Structure 1
């Protein structure tokens, strides 16, 4: 059973819009997670924010984000300041640029998400956008707010759906020349090269996800199972289901495409 959508909104290309959902393509739910306990009582220890000078606990209402300009010199930023620089719409993936699929270096790829139609009404528009990108061998570039942070994102056709990759910003990617410039770029000894190529050939096998199993995780689980389980002293919290209802999105796809082509941007054409 697929998990609940992480995000619900719209995929937009010019005048063509369809309702979509996002779900993380990866999960760490199976990882062993630890809490910090009081060894004497067995109770959990909670982290609290305390004032660095007084040592007193600071209530949530008095906590504010700050940017350090210098030593002990901070600028306070309120929620309104942060909201002012966010995207106007946090519920629309508006694709306004495309690039060749093989031109984005993998080091910019951050987190992947599955994008699928949210309802049958928008499935035709979704399919047309996906197939057009696949046949043109391009990926779409857009921006999106996820987890209260604006991200550059890439949309890549993937089987019957689309993979959305959040992309690292340019200042988050280090320049490789700083590290590789000291490596000798001369050609290796042909005999040594041939021997290593033979070793590689002997060890080349088909890919399998068993190659990325986590043996440490397995050993930790064995230790945990062998220990006496602690009795839970807390009642489970009630889970409320307040899933947002998607807005209706009935469109005339052919009409929207014709209008989009008539109103195509003057710039951005490939030189050729």
Structure 2
């Protein structure tokens, strides 16, 4: 991994030199656009509306337009901002772990100690773990002042940038204003389904099926040529016309019934397997 930022964590009089690394990566297959007639690559170019010339990225500045005037902000202007020059991860406060709303979480980064002795890093990591606290920090990253949480994961300090409070929308749905009556039987069946599906979350067991199928399709086209029927790779797929609206209680009862039927079918197969296992093997002729 390559560090994308270097600086230090500051809390009280403690200074912890660190390197920051992106903790996530995209696994999506990168696609580009082509002309359907001849397969030619479609490219987008930046043109100036005043002179009409193509403009290289190095000559592009940013600007703000208030409707009447335009203010141009150069790269030098932005770099001169005090927050942009800061190389500190400033600890603002320590809060209970459970107080961090998952809705606020954005991107994740690893922090690695960047000094000859990792003692200060280990001290901060240990105190966060023992007190079950998350540090709320502020840092400047990629031309933005960011609020973030800093916590311990697998003996590594992890920074997760947070959205600002005014960036979260309020879920104001009229459809939830009506009174809904839930029957006792419906609640019992719903609890039964939840109990049957209880488990510890292991993200490794889930895969991105769309990306897997996309890669399979691309590999098949590479092997067999571009004139490939998609059905030959994935088989015929029935078109999804949308789920049928059915009664909630009926759906819950059907879910429980299916679970029982599957369990009964599995139980019937066990005696047959045991009988097959006890059957003596035939002797080979001499």
Question: TM-score with structure 1 length normalisation?
Answer: 0.71
Q: Which moved more, 1:215-224 or 1:130-139?
A: 130-139
2:71 equivalent among 75, 86, 89: 75
Contact 1:14 1:96 survives alignment (8 Å): no
- TM-superposed CA distance for 1:219, in Å, is 0.7
Contact 2:106 2:162 survives alignment (8 Å): yes
Q: Which residue of structure 1 lines up, in the alignment, with residue 283 of structure 2?
A: none
List runs of 5+ in structure 1 lacking aligned partners.
230-272
2:93 equivalent among 81, 94, 97: 97
Taking the aligned partners of 1:22 and 1:42, their CA distance within structure 2 comes to 41
- TM-superposed CA distance for 1:86, in Å, is 4.5
- TM-superposed CA distance for 1:48, in Å, is 1.6
Q: Which residue of structure 2 lines up, in the alignment, with residue 267 of structure 1?
A: none
Taking the aligned partners of 1:114 and 1:60, their CA distance within structure 2 comes to 30
Taking the aligned partners of 1:136 and 1:180, their CA distance within structure 2 comes to 42
List runs of 5+ in structure 2 lacking aligned partners.
224-286
Q: Which residue of structure 2 lines up, in the alignment, with residue 106 of structure 1?
A: 102
Taking the aligned partners of 2:149 and 2:203, their CA distance within structure 1 comes to 25
Q: What is the 5 A alignment of 1:122-271?
A: 123-176=118-171, 178-179=172-173, 182-184=176-178, 188-228=182-222
Using a 3 Å threshold, how does the CA distance of structure 1 residues 58 and 145 change in structure 2: closer, same or farther?
A: same
Q: Secondary structure at the match of 1:21?
A: strand
Q: Secondary structure at the match of 2:151?
A: strand
Contact 1:20 1:119 survives alignment (8 Å): yes
Relative contact order, higher structure (CA 8 A, sep 6+): 1
Contact 2:79 2:85 survives alignment (8 Å): no
Q: Which residue of structure 2 lines up, in the alignment, with residue 116 of structure 1?
A: 112
Using a 3 Å threshold, how does the CA distance of structure 1 residues 180 and 157 change in structure 2: closer, same or farther?
A: farther
Question: TM-score with structure 2 length normalisation?
Answer: 0.68
Q: Secondary structure at the match of 1:225?
A: helix
Please provide the CA RMSD for this pair.
2.8
Larger radius of gyration: 2
Taking the aligned partners of 1:179 and 1:74, their CA distance within structure 2 comes to 38
Taking the aligned partners of 2:181 and 2:132, their CA distance within structure 1 comes to 35
Q: Which moved more, 1:78-87 or 1:144-153?
A: 78-87
Higher helix content, 1 or 2: 2
- TM-superposed CA distance for 1:22, in Å, is 1.7
- TM-superposed CA distance for 1:185, in Å, is 6.2
- TM-superposed CA distance for 1:169, in Å, is 1.4
Q: What is the 5 A alignment of 1:7-86?
A: 7-28=5-26, 30-37=27-34, 44-52=41-49, 55-60=52-57, 62-70=59-67, 74-86=70-82
Taking the aligned partners of 2:151 and 2:175, their CA distance within structure 1 comes to 33
- TM-superposed CA distance for 1:130, in Å, is 1.6
Using a 3 Å threshold, how does the CA distance of structure 1 residues 51 and 92 change in structure 2: closer, same or farther?
A: same
Corresponding residue pairs, total: 223
